[in-house]
């Protein structure tokens, strides 16, 4: 074997090792993005539908803050809830937030609720999707997010903690 053959073999072996390591799946993590305090109005209940019990909860305002963004929740959105036949509830919230610099950001948040609060089987998680203009806040367009939702004791607001999946 000449030197060129040995070097080519070493380079190929090294590249194969790097590619094998790169192909291994990485366990995702999460990083805190912001917490929103969202005020809500009284439920509007149109009644049973072929898909389940429907509720509409008006979003009346609020505020949010995190390490890279803060601002207010704009009134006018709503949380559309569907009570399914299995007792679980799906939520589709659609609203706008406005960063302190004036940037308007559309939020569509899908959530699932099951079980009763305070019991071991209680589950309430969300997956918000953002639509921000290109610029300072477009990092919201370029990642997946998950979150938790807590109903405030008076029932007139929720806290949404949003995490970027890393």
Q: What is the CATH number for 54?
A: 2.40.160.20
Give me 100's structure tokens.
Answer: 């302190």
Range of the domain at 66: 28-165
* Residue 134 within any structural domain of the chain: yes
Q: For 14-49, write each residue's pLDDT tens digit.
A: 555 555 566 778 999 999 999 999 999 999 998 889
Query: What pLDDT, on a 0 to 100 scale, did the predictor assign at position 25?
Result: 81
* Residue 94 within any structural domain of the chain: yes
Residue 54's CB: how many other CB atoms inside 10 A? 15
* Residue 106 within any structural domain of the chain: yes
* Residue 93 within any structural domain of the chain: yes
Per-residue pLDDT at 142 exceeds 80:
yes
Give me 7's structure tokens.
Answer: 């070097």
Coil, helix or strand for 7? Answer: helix
* Residue 18 within any structural domain of the chain: no
Give me 144's structure tokens.
Answer: 């997946």
pTM: 0.82
- Mean pLDDT score, 92-107: 98
* Residue 8 within any structural domain of the chain: no
- Mean pLDDT score, 83-100: 96
Environment class of 25 (CB within 10 Å of its CB; exposed 0-12, middle 13-18, buried 19+): exposed
* Residue 7 within any structural domain of the chain: no
Query: What pLDDT, on a 0 to 100 scale, did the predictor assign at position 9?
Result: 54
The Cα-based distances of 51 to 2, 55, 89, 98 in angstroms read 73, 12, 11, 33
Q: What does the angle CA 84 – CA 88 – CA 91 come to, to the nearest 5 degrees? A: 80
Cα gap 78→109, rounded to integer Å: 10
Number of domains forming the structure of the chain: 1
Environment class of 104 (CB within 10 Å of its CB; exposed 0-12, middle 13-18, buried 19+): middle
Q: For 65-91, write each residue's pLDDT tens digit.
A: 999 999 999 999 999 999 999 999 999
| Half-sphere exposure of residue 136: CA atoms within 13 angstroms, side-chain side | 11
* Residue 23 within any structural domain of the chain: no
């Amino acid at each position: 074997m000449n030197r060129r053959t040995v070097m080519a073999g070493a380079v190929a072996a090294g590249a194969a090792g790097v590619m094998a390591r790169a192909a291994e799946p990485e366990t995702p993590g999460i990083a805190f993005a912001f917490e929103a305090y969202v005020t809500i109005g009284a439920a509007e209940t149109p009644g049973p539908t072929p898909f389940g019990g429907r509720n509409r909860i008006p979003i009346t305002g609020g505020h949010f803050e995190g390490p890279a963004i803060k601002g207010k929740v704009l009134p006018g959105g709503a949380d559309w809830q569907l009570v399914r036949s299995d007792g679980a509830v799906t939520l589709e919230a659609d609203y706008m937030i406005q960063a302190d610099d004036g940037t308007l950001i559309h939020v569509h948040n899908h959530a699932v609720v099951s079980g009763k609060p305070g019991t071991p089987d209680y589950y309430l998680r969300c997956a918000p999707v953002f639509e921000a203009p290109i610029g300072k806040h477009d990092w919201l367009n370029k990642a997946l997010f998950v979150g938790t939702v807590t109903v405030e004791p008076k029932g007139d607001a929720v806290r949404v903690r949003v995490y970027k999946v890393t």
